[in-house]
Amino acid sequence: EVQLVESGGGLVQPGGSLRLSCAASGFTFSSYDMNWVRQAPGKGLEWVSYISSSGSTIYYADSVKGRLTISRDNVKNSLYLQMNSLRDEDTAVYYCARSVSYYYGMDVWGQGTTVTVSS
């Protein structure tokens, strides 16, 4: 079964750090591009970051550039999001999502992990 499972969410103070993980199974992880998408409480979906299958191409939303870092380990079949200098507005459910390629959208989503930034 194709599956993405996020972990690492939690409560963190403003200015703090957190590292999210996404474990992939049931497919050849190294053949797929990956994304992080978030959803603030009661709000819509916001794309956060993209990484190509090899890790050579990375993009970020302006709202997270310089603070969040996407990476992947194709040996461990895992995607990561290092979150630094967290702000209240980063509070959201974070989803990892698979893409067949850049243009084809996100076909498989994880269940999400919740990040709460609050003092």
Partner 1 sequence: DIQMTQSPSSLSASVGDRVTITCRASQSISISLNWYQQKPGKAPKSLIYDTSSLQSGVPSRFSGSGSGTDFTLTISSLQPEDFATYYCQQSFSTPFTFGPGTKVDIK
Residues that bind partner 1 (CB under 8 A): 35, 37, 44-47, 50, 59-62, 95, 97, 99, 102-112
> What is the smallest separation between the CB atom of 22 and partner 1, expressed in angstroms?
12
Residue 70 beta carbon to partner 1: minimum distance, rounded to whole angstroms? 12
Give the single-character DSSP code of 90: G
- When the beta carbons of 16 and 109 are compared against partner 1, the nearer one is 109
- Residue closer to partner 1 by CB (options 16, 67) is 67
DSSP string, 23-83: EEESS-GGGSEEEEEEE-TT--EEEEEEE-TTS--EEE-TTTTTTEEEEEETTTTEEEEEE
Q: Is 110 helix (H, G, I), strand (E, B) or coil?
A: coil
17 C-beta neighbours (distance < 10 Å), count = 12
| Helix (H/G/I), strand (E/B), else coil: 49 | strand
Q: Least Å distance between CB 39 and partner 1?
A: 8
Would you say 13 or 54 has its CB closer to partner 1? 54
Q: Which is nearer to partner 1, 3 or 84 (CB)?
A: 3
CB of 104 to partner 1, least distance (A): 5
